[in-house]
Each structure stands twice: as C-alpha cells, then as structure tokens.
Chain A
Amino acid sequence: MTGAGTPIPVMIDVDGLDALIAALAAEGREVLGPVRRDGALVFEPIGAAGELPRGWVDEQSGGHYRLKKEGTAFFGATNGPQGIKRILHTPHQRLWRTEGSGDATEIIPEPLDDTRRAVIGARACDLAAMAVQDRVLMEGTYGDPHYAARRGSLFVVAVNCTRAADTCFCASMNTGPKATAGYDIALTELEGGRFLAVSGSDAGAAMLSGLPSAPASAAEEAQAEEAIEGARDQQRRIDTDGLPQILKTRPDHPRWSEVASRCLNCANCTMVCPTCFCTTVEEVSSLEGPETERVARWASCFTVDFSHIHGGAVRAGAKSRYRQWLTHKLGTWVDQFGELGCVGCGRCISWCPVGIDITEEAAALRREEG
C-alpha cells in the first residue's frame, strides 16, 4: 500500500468495469480475465465486461469440476484450473538459443517479455501464491528475469470471493477470501452488477480516479464485508499448527503408503498448484542446422525422471514422490522460504482424478496411526 491514508472505497457499475478494461487496454496492456472455455474458467484476453462468465458458478469437489448456470454475478465462479501463475511463470519459457557453430557459436539470450498485462479477477489465494512465487523466483541470490519482467509490469484487479467452492480452504491458511495485498485495485461484487472498488497502489488509485464512480456508502461497505464473510464459511481446513515439524519427522508414517496406493502419479496437482515452481530444461535442436535452443518447462516431482541421477531415480516409488510433494508444500517450504507453500486454493483436490484431498491427508498424517 502506497499513498497517504486508507484508500476510499468507491462504487462502479458495469459501465465502470468496461471503462476499466478500456483504460487498461489504452495503456497498451493486454487485459486478461476469466472466460469460459472447454467447460472451465481460464484467463484469456478480454475486451469488455460482457465477455466475463456472468451467471455461471463452479461446482467443485474431489476429482470434480463443473460450471453451471446460477445467479447473475460476473464473478460468481471461483477458481478455474489455472491461476495467474500461468501468466507470470509460463509453462514454456525459451531461455536462449545459439547461432553459428564451432568457434563462431554465439549464445543469444531470450529477450524479456515486454508485453504489459493486466489481470482482472485474480483471487486472494492466487495473490498469496504470487507472493510465494515472488520469494522463490525473485528474492533469492539468483532469480528468473522472465518472471520478474512479467511480474513487474502486471496490473492486478483482484476480486474478493463472495462464495467459496467446496474445495476451498483459504480461510484456514489465512490467505483469503479477501485480498489483502498484491493488487492495484480490489473489487467486491454486490448484487445488480455493482462493484465496491478500493485501490491498493498508486497506479490503482490513479486508474480508479479516472473511472465513472460514486462514493461508496457505509451500507455498501457493510454489504461488501458481509458478502466476503459468507465465503469464509468453508467445508475444508488444514490445521497448520506444528504441521511442518510433524510431516518432517514422520517419513515412515503408514499413511504415505496408503495414499500412494490411490495416487496415480499423474502430476495434475502440481500442474494446477499456483505455487509449484519446478522446471526442467530441454534442448530443442534445429533440423536445418547446428542451431539449438534451451527451453524451461514446468516439471513435476511426481514423475520418476524428476529425481533421476546416473544409476536411477532417487524417488523411484510412488510413496516417496507423494511424500516429497506434500512435505514440501506443508513442511520444508517453511525452512526454504519462511512460509508454507500451500495457499488453500483447493485446485489439487478438484483436479485429482481420484479425488485425493490434501486437507484429509494432512489430518491423517497428523494422527499417529494414519
């Protein structure tokens, strides 16, 4: 938060939302928002509020995700499979390429992405995840300049959740449902296509001041808080108290074998997780000449190759691979980065084909006997 004092909330309507999208585009930004595609919400370029999934909500549970018609809200549906990670830490990133061969070989670094983007509809859990990835990819001795370039120019319009999916557990992770940091503007949707908007940065305040808006009344502020409060009522939770130490000291807990017997090692959880940052580098050679390029792509600790060293994989068994993922998220991440690596978005539950539930596994591992 920059600027003086607490930002004053204002009300904007659908025209205001359209004006916001237009103003962001007029700044030369690619504006991304949630749209329906192939039966799920994905972040794609949008040009008007009319492209938002108005009147759709999501239905999520273990191994289950559906969109269905319900109500008239623009932002009624919570998280789709991919959060904003996909925009910043792209699944595929060229790092460099070569030109020439032999003594004339030249290494050409991949230029940084200079597209300025704005994302509309980022949720509190995804902003918490973005902060987690900032620490991993920008705040260490070495960083990822491609991530930093996209991150630095991103304008974030957060949307506070006013309903929770059955898989959500952000409340117990203290990351949501209200966005508290990482946004330029935060919206809370009220009935009738009205949005309570607050700025979270100077850029956000400047943007808001240029939009058609009205001061928010005390009643509207109260309505917004009440709506967010409704999303706090969540079915799932993780008791994180002392959990990192418990997980790290129970590598032989019988539950690891039990969950491994259900886990398909498909890597879906890692592909939808908004904090998972692992990458593998690949060499892509030209068929036409000696040129080659190095590409980083998302990797998953659920694959056998992930831990391969000569002689074989370190984590050859499904049990050890599931244990690595969960212990990292809810345990060793704290040693590495000073915080948990889970934000409670619940995606790994919905997108697990066999419905393995991280909240249930964490609770079972907390019990001595599984």
Chain B
Amino acid sequence: MQAIDSHTDPMVPVIAKVTRVTRDLSDVVTFEMEAEGWRGFAPGQFNMLSVFGVGEIPISISGPQSDSSKIIHTIRDVGPVSHALASLRTGAVLGLRGPYGTPWPVEAAKGRDVVVVAGGLGLAPVRPILYELMENRGDYGKVTLLYGARSPGDILFAEELRQWRSRLDMGVEVTVDRADPSWHGHVGVVTAHLRGADFDPKATTAFICGPEIMMRFTANGLVDLGVAPGDIHLSMERNMQCGIGLCGHCQLGPHFVCKDGPVFDWAVIKPLMRVKEL
C-alpha cells in the first residue's frame, strides 16, 4: 500500500474533509472523511491526523478495506488533539498523512480459524479484519470475536456487535468489567472466554488489540491452549510524531512501532513486553 505522495516531504499532509460524524459513546466518535489521492489501506494501518492549530496524532483506520471512497476513524477523546478531532463536525477540514504501518496479516489466515480479541477502544483497529472476514466468510474457518469493555455503557459499536452475534457463522462473546442492573451478559475479563471458544489451536490465527496487560494475558492464554506464538498478532501503541521512522519516539527495543509495527506477532513482542518501561 503506497502512502499519498503528492508532496516530496512525507511530513506534509494533504487536506481531508469530514463527511459524516457518528457519536458512538459519550467520549468516542467515528467519522468518515474524503481526501483526494487516497488509495485505500490494509487492516491494521493508521493515519496521522492533524487538527490545524492543535497538533497531529496517529489514529488507526476502523472502516472497511473494500471501500476506498472514504476513510473512517474512531477516536476517543483523551488528549488535546483527540479532543479536537472528536469535536470536528461534518464539513470540517483536517490534515491527513498515511496510511502507515504494517497491516494485520488477514490474508494469511485464509483457510484457518480466526480468533479476534479486543478490549475497549481496541475494537476499532480490528473492525477492518471483521469486515474482511464477513465479506469473504467462505475463505476462513471458524470465526470468534471476544470483546471486553469496562461497563455496558462503554461497549463500542453495540449495534454491529448485535448483528454479528446474530450470525450463525460467527461466535461473539461480550463481557464487561463492571455490570449495571440492565446487563445480563458476561462479567469479568475477556480471557475467561478463550477456553470456551470454538477453534482448532493448531490451525488458528489470532488478532488482539487492547490495553497491553489485556493483550499479554490473552496471548499467554492462547499459547496455553496450543496456539503458536507466531500465529498470534497484536497491535502496539507508542508515542508517534512522524509515523515513518524518523522521529524516534515510538521505539520499542529494536523496533520502530510505526514502521516495523504497529502489528507484531507474539513471538517477537513477548520478550520485549516482559521488560518494564522498555
């Protein structure tokens, strides 16, 4: 996948225009944008988004790969730039660079069982995988999605989760850390549902995205069930100022998370995640 190259300087963004904004949660919005020259992305890649006068941050792409007419991002309002992004209305312009980073190896999972495990906002970066699996359902074996959120009110893409749950060709389990009286589903950590999921560990590809501690427990849980570390893929998050391996901020041991990742396999990342504050 080639990045937009209308400028010789990869640090110079192109103008993108917000065409639709959906509020998912009190602090999360999904917006669609258009940008001239956009040639699509691969699931797992991210863009550098700029709000003029505020700053630039990396945001993973949460829409379907098959539709390159629009660019979809899901953003949680946690800092100055994400707050500005989450406040953009339809018609607003912003700066766009990308797509960058290594994608989820979804194609390589064809013919195999697929387990997708997401925590919190981590559902957004794996959503392009789920779209691909649904669009080419016959190409893959059993498909499982395990999703954990802090509370029922924090469940992202609730309507889509309901649709996926109603499918007979996909196993979906949603769990929350803290329930409220309206909640009749699972309570507890997402890893508790690995054992009950239907997949053949020897022929399974797993994709994990969420807080590091959740990814670590999930990957270890999958290994315990017999999934090979090289078949477990997770998406890392680090400070990024450039997205293209020049600013140095995202280093994780020998890797630049922006260009060697953000998707890594567990065999590579496990020894690095073991080290505190690496």
Chain A contact residues, CB within 8 Å of chain B: 95-96, 98, 101-103, 105-107, 109-110, 136-137, 140-146, 248, 251-252, 277-283, 285, 290, 292, 294, 296, 299, 301, 306-310, 314-317, 319-320, 324, 328, 331-332, 335-336
B225 located at the interface, meaning its Cβ lies under 8 Å from any Cβ of chain A in the complex: no
Known: A96-B12, A142-B10. A306 touches B52 (CB 8 A): no
CB <8 Å contact, B9 and A145: yes
Within 8 A of A (CB), among B1-55: 7-15, 17, 50, 52-55
Within 8 A of A (CB), among B236-264: 237-239, 241-242, 244-249, 251, 253-254, 256, 259
Across the two chains, which residue of chain B brings its CB closest to A301?
B248
- For B67-108 the 0/1 string (1 means CB < 8 A from A) is 000000000001100100000000101010000000000000
CB <8 Å contact, B251 and A294: no
Known: A144-B246, A314-B239. A105 touches B15 (CB 8 A): yes
Report how many residues on chain B are interfacial, defined by Cβ distance under 8 Å.
42
Q: Provide 7 A-B residue pairs closer than 8 Å at the C-beta atoms, listed in order of the A residue.
A: A98-B52, A106-B15, A283-B53, A294-B56, A316-B277, A324-B251, A336-B254
CB <8 Å contact, A306 and B249: yes
CB <8 Å contact, A290 and B53: yes
For the complex formed, measure the closest distance between the CB of B260 and the CB atoms of chain A, giving whole angstroms: 9
Q: Which of B10, B238, B246 contacts A309 (CB 8 A)?
A: B238
Across the two chains, which residue of chain B brings its CB closest to A331?
B254
Q: Which of B13, B78, B248 has the most CB of A within 10 A?
A: B248
For the complex formed, measure the closest distance between the CB of A111 and the CB atoms of chain B, giving whole angstroms: 10
CB <8 Å contact, B249 and A328: no
Across the two chains, which residue of chain B brings its CB closest to A315?
B277
CB <8 Å contact, A320 and B52: no
Known: A109-B9, A299-B247, A320-B278. A281 touches B93 (CB 8 A): no
CB <8 Å contact, B251 and A328: yes
Instruction: Kindly list chain B residues whose C-beta atoms are within 8 Å of the C-beta of A307.
Output: 238-239, 249
Known: A107-B95, A141-B245. A310 touches B53 (CB 8 A): no
CB <8 Å contact, B11 and A95: yes
Across the two chains, which residue of chain B brings its CB closest to A327?
B253
CB <8 Å contact, B7 and A294: no
Across the two chains, which residue of chain A brings its CB closest to B7?
A109
Within 8 A of A (CB), among B145-169: none
CB <8 Å contact, B56 and A281: yes
CB <8 Å contact, B241 and A107: no
CB <8 Å contact, A332 and B253: yes
Instruction: Kindly list chain A residues whose C-beta atoms are within 8 Å of the C-beta of B241.
Output: 279-281, 296, 299
Instruction: Kindly list chain A residues whose C-beta atoms are within 8 Å of the C-beta of B91.
Output: 103
- In the assembled complex, the Cα of A324 lies from the Cα of B247 at a distance in Å of 15
Across the two chains, which residue of chain A brings its CB closest to B56?
A281
- In the assembled complex, the Cα of A307 lies from the Cα of B236 at a distance in Å of 13
For the complex formed, measure the closest distance between the CB of A9 and the CB atoms of chain B, giving whole angstroms: 39
Other than the known A105-B15, A140-B246, A299-B247, what 11 A-B pairs have Cβ atoms closer than 8 Å? A96-B9, A96-B12, A102-B93, A107-B15, A278-B248, A280-B249, A281-B56, A299-B248, A306-B249, A310-B78, A335-B254
In the A-B complex, the 8 residue pairs with the smallest Cβ-Cβ separation, listed nearest first, are A278-B248, A335-B254, A320-B277, A142-B244, A310-B78, A332-B254, A292-B53, A251-B275
Q: Which of B8, B12, B53, B239 contacts A285 (CB 8 A)?
A: B53
B276 located at the interface, meaning its Cβ lies under 8 Å from any Cβ of chain A in the complex: yes
